[in-house]
Structure 1
Amino acid sequence: MSVTDQKAALREGLIRARPVVGPSDQAYDFMAEAVRALMPAGGCRLAAYLPIRRELDPLPIAERLDPYPIALPRTPQTPGPLDFRLWSPGQPLDEGRFKTREPAVDAPTLADERILMLLPLVGFDSRCYRLGYGGGFYDRSLAQFRERGQAVIAVGLAYDEQHCPEPLPIEATDERLHGVITPTAVYGPGQND
């Protein structure tokens, strides 16, 4: 079975395993403190996402950190990196390519600054590799930031049920995360390799 086929099979089961009810306030407090601990001295811009398909919602974490405006992605019409734009609650959102909600096309772009990026995922392993929906948008975005020399701390947000006990199949284009935060745990690469 090819890596692409292995990922597709995993993806289907992991999406079904997502809880219907989101985390408790106490779990969001825990996750916000875990994110705060990863923020570099001197500050950084928080980049996040607006959830789809029962993804873990990062906005309650952002609200506890009060980092507005945050950067949210706009999905390009053709495969490529995401276009991060600044957004604050109450500002308009456009409908994106995959029925996602995105900042307006004329919203300010993300400057060349340090970023702590919260990423959605379908599944993750103990090495902090993530399984997404298969479009490669976040992997291309992280690679682009790295190529530009922009400092990015990439952290996945997931439910505990999205942890894969076995290593995920990976490809050369798959970017390893700096960590994954769930409602009950923080995973870092190298902890369980």
Structure 2
Amino acid sequence: MHGNSPKTLRQDLLAQRRQFAASASYPAARDALLVGLGDFLTDSGVALRTVALYCPIKEEIDLRPTLLAWANASPARVLSLPFARPDKHLDFYTWQDSDILIPSQHRVPEPDPNNPRRPQVTPDCILIPCVGWSKSQQGSKNHYWRLGYGGGYFDRTLAQLRRKNPKLICLGIGFDWQKLDDAQWSAQTHDEPLDMLLTESGLHR
């Protein structure tokens, strides 16, 4: 069992992630997840043109090499990174591997919103790292939920973007061991569900 508050739970999960990233079993799990990401991108075909990723912090898995290979295979494909606004919403700006990023107040590398060569874009798919995740079921349909860092940036942004684009794909990135049961954590009314979840064991829809 984890602690009895979301803050303690996050601290416990982040400590476990540090240990996992240094373990002998991590490379195989990481590689399996990246293979799954490549399969997802291939299977999505022309449906995806603009994918939002993240710069990894706190032992988050680094998706950039896989996504750069995907983007470089076609000039129509665009990668983007989030920029955190003061109102705790995210904007997305195009990104290339050579770009200089600026640390945010949370020490997350971000694109420069004033760079005229990197316009703001609306993603078709957003890849979101999970500190933890859970699964619920309504009838025959599964729902996946993300426990993040507690700032609410993604929840606010996804709620807004989904109103504009109902076909937006929100893909959580995590590991099997991060799954939480109802006694540990359950999603709140303001939490936005994930459309899919990718772990080392495969793509969960």
**TM-score band (shorter)?**
0.7 to 0.9
Distance across 1 between alignment mates of 2:99 and 2:159 = 29
What does residue 66 of structure 1 align with? 71
- Measured after TM superposition, the shift of residue 6 of structure 1 is 3.2
What does residue 53 of structure 1 align with? 58
Distance across 1 between alignment mates of 2:155 and 2:164 = 14
Tell me if the contact between 2:52 and 2:80 (Cα under 8 Å) persists in the aligned partners.
yes
Distance across 1 between alignment mates of 2:14 and 2:58 = 8
- Which of 129, 132, 144 is the aligned partner of 2:160? 144
Mapping 1:104-183, distance limit 5 Å: 104-107=112-115, 108-112=118-122, 115-126=124-135, 127-149=143-165, 151-166=167-182, 168-183=185-200
Distance across 1 between alignment mates of 2:161 and 2:149 = 21
Q: Using a 3 Å threshold, how does the CA distance of structure 1 residues 36 and 42 change in structure 2: closer, same or farther?
A: same
Q: Using a 3 Å threshold, how does the CA distance of structure 1 residues 60 and 164 change in structure 2: closer, same or farther?
A: farther
Tell me the TM-score normalised to structure 1 length.
Answer: 0.82
Aligned residues: 181
What does residue 191 of structure 1 align with? none
Q: Between Structure 1 and Structure 2, whose CA radius of gyration is higher?
A: 2
Larger helix share, 1 or 2: 2
Say whether residues 1:96 and 2:104 are aligned partners.
Answer: yes
Tell me if the contact between 1:80 and 1:137 (Cα under 8 Å) persists in the aligned partners.
yes
Q: Using a 3 Å threshold, how does the CA distance of structure 1 residues 23 and 81 change in structure 2: closer, same or farther?
A: farther
Give structure 1 stretches of 5+ with no counterpart: 189-193
Distance across 1 between alignment mates of 2:87 and 2:192 = 16
SS at match of 2:14: helix
Query: How big is the alpha-carbon RMSD for the aligned residues of Structure 1 and Structure 2?
Result: 2.3
Tell me the TM-score normalised to structure 2 length.
Answer: 0.77
Q: Using a 3 Å threshold, how does the CA distance of structure 1 residues 88 and 66 change in structure 2: closer, same or farther?
A: same
Tell me if the contact between 1:73 and 1:82 (Cα under 8 Å) persists in the aligned partners.
yes
Distance across 2 between alignment mates of 1:14 and 1:36 = 31
Q: Using a 3 Å threshold, how does the CA distance of structure 1 residues 7 and 102 change in structure 2: closer, same or farther?
A: same
Tell me if the contact between 1:155 and 1:179 (Cα under 8 Å) persists in the aligned partners.
yes
Tell me if the contact between 1:159 and 1:183 (Cα under 8 Å) persists in the aligned partners.
yes
- Measured after TM superposition, the shift of residue 26 of structure 1 is 4.0
